[in-house]
Amino acid sequence: RHYTTRIETLASNHVPRLLHAGGERPTPSPAAAPERRPFSRVTPEDLAFFSKIIPDRTITDPDILEASNVDWLKSVSFSEVLLRPQTTEEVSQILGYCNSRNLAVSPQGGNTGLVGGSVPVYDEIILSTALMNNVLNFDSVSGQYRLTAPILCVCICVKVLADGRVLDCLATLRKDNTGYDLKQLFIGSEGTLGVITAVTILCPRKPKAINVGFLGRCMLGEILSAFEFLDRECMRPLNTHLKLANPITDCPFYVVIETSGSNPTHDEEKLHQFLEEAMTSSQVIDGTVATEAKIKALWSLRERVTEALTHDGFTYKYDISLPVERIYQLVTDMREHLGDRAKSVVGYGHVGDGNLHLNITSPTKDPDLLASIEPFVYEWTARFQGSISAEHCLGLKKRNYIYYSKASLAVALMGNIKTMLDPKGILNPYKTLPDDLQ
């Protein structure tokens, strides 16, 4: 099997080293893995303990482990143990034991990460929440939905701390202003502060009317539920590699808008009024509105851009948050900066909240191209008060770039919080925080 590997093993003790082309060892990039910390290594006695807690869910089979050792962008790790708990109590026992033994743990959800945050760096134990997918209850009056598994749109949650203690904030109140909002510490912390084992989320009623259009913005107000964009360069790999046809004429930019509401007639009238004015004012060159049967096909043009680019060569991915008026300027400036050194520079993302996905492709992995992209992309983002990670977090690959988005004092406080909640540093080590705090 062939992967784009970040590290390789040496002999049988699985101590990784960075790959390089030969000659003198190069200076590691800020994204490179730091030296392994002095965590304990898993022993037969440890495996016996885990097997007692979760029989048949303590995995050491390399073939089964493989999928959990490789993330979506093919970063490879070398964990030899995969644990699949089903309850908060099982997670509590596992973490309490690992903390006492100084065993590092890599929490893992869907393993769709793009920054090396969802797989171990060395031989950390993988703690998967894949089996924590039970619906506990549903409140049809308030719309509260309680279930196990870490997902988005979290209202309240249960966390297991590094030492195994359980922090239960799983209330169903929509408003509670008593003390600090502790759940926000854990949301987005990439499993470095605790493991979320249950959540309560708010479930809006399913809209009675959904309309999807492939065009522009404004005037949809309260019924606008999505506003996504992609540029002309995105259409080429979509067509070439995935055979997805452009439903309208060739344009510099495309937008996918979705409206959701409770009154189909009212919503359709608003959408058609918007389309008419947009076309009349020449803000929109061409467009199409999807019928119920074709909504999925139209959304595919936006949702499968990332997949299409993986077939286009090696992809350098950046998840940037910017003021809306600056969202595409970074793409044009990057194209000018790189010239013909890149195969393509494309931009797509969520215009409504200023989130740009900047993707740069080359035929193969190219260290010289990467040196031209970074730190240029981070310096540019910082100059316009943006964030170097809007959605993807920092993981392993971007941890040392955090200062482009956060003040030194803020980063130091994050380090203090990490030390307080996980003094031994066993939870997802080498991730999120920069090396100067590790």
Could you report the per-residue pLDDT of 82-91, keeping only the tens digit for each?
Answer: 999 999 999 9
* Banded model confidence at residue 95, pLDDT cuts 50, 70, 90: very high
Task: Please report the beta strands in 186-328, taking only residues with DSSP state E, as ranges in sequence order.
Answer: 195-202, 209-214, 224-231, 253-261, 289-290, 314-321
- Residue with more model confidence, 328 or 15: 328
Could you report the per-residue pLDDT of 271-282, keeping only the tens digit for each?
Answer: 777 777 777 766
The tokens describing 256, both together, are: 């996918």
Contacts of residue 236, Cβ cutoff 8 Å, sequence gap at least 6? 344
Residue ranges of domains in the chain, CATH in brackets: 7-131 (3.30.43.10), 135-202 (3.30.465.10), 209-305 (3.30.70.2190), 313-392 (3.30.70.2740)
Could you report the per-residue pLDDT of 186-201, keeping only the tens digit for each?
Answer: 988 999 999 999 888 7
- Residue with more model confidence, 323 or 267: 323
Give the range with max mean pLDDT: 24-38, 78-92, 108-122, 143-157.
78-92
Whole-angstrom distance, CA of residue 363 vs CA of residue 180: 49
Could you report the per-residue pLDDT of 420-432, keeping only the tens digit for each?
Answer: 999 999 999 999 9
Q: Is residue 366 over pLDDT 70?
A: yes
pLDDT at 167: 93
pLDDT, mean of residues 126-154: 68
Could you report the per-residue pLDDT of 3-33, keeping only the tens digit for each?
Answer: 333 333 333 344 333 333 333 434 456 777 8
CA dihedral (429, 431, 435, 438) positive or negative: negative
Give per-residue burial for 239-270: e unless 16+ CB within 10 Å, then b. eeeeebebeeeebebbbbbbbbbeeeeebbeb
pLDDT at 170: 73
pLDDT at 18: 34
pLDDT at 206: 66
Q: Which helix (H) or strand (E) segment is 81 a member of?
A: none
- Residue with more model confidence, 263 or 121: 121
Could you report the per-residue pLDDT of 26-62, keeping only the tens digit for each?
Answer: 445 677 788 999 999 999 999 999 999 999 999 999 9
Q: Is residue 67 over pLDDT 60?
A: yes
* Banded model confidence at residue 153, pLDDT cuts 50, 70, 90: low
Whole-angstrom distance, CA of residue 214 vs CA of residue 170: 40
* Banded model confidence at residue 300, pLDDT cuts 50, 70, 90: confident
Residue 158: which of 150, 169, 173, 148 has the closest Cα?
Answer: 169
Task: Tell me what percent of the residues of the chain surpass a pLDDT of 90.
Answer: 52
pLDDT at 16: 37
Asked if 305 contacts 244 with a C-beta cutoff of 8 angstroms, the reply is: no
Task: Please report the beta strands in 232-332, taking only residues with DSSP state E, as ranges in sequence order.
Answer: 253-261, 289-290, 314-321
Least confident of 25-34, 99-108, 155-164: 25-34
pLDDT at 83: 98
Contacts of residue 230, Cβ cutoff 8 Å, sequence gap at least 6? 253, 254, 255, 256, 301, 302, 305, 346, 347, 348
Mean of per-residue pLDDT scores for the chain:
83
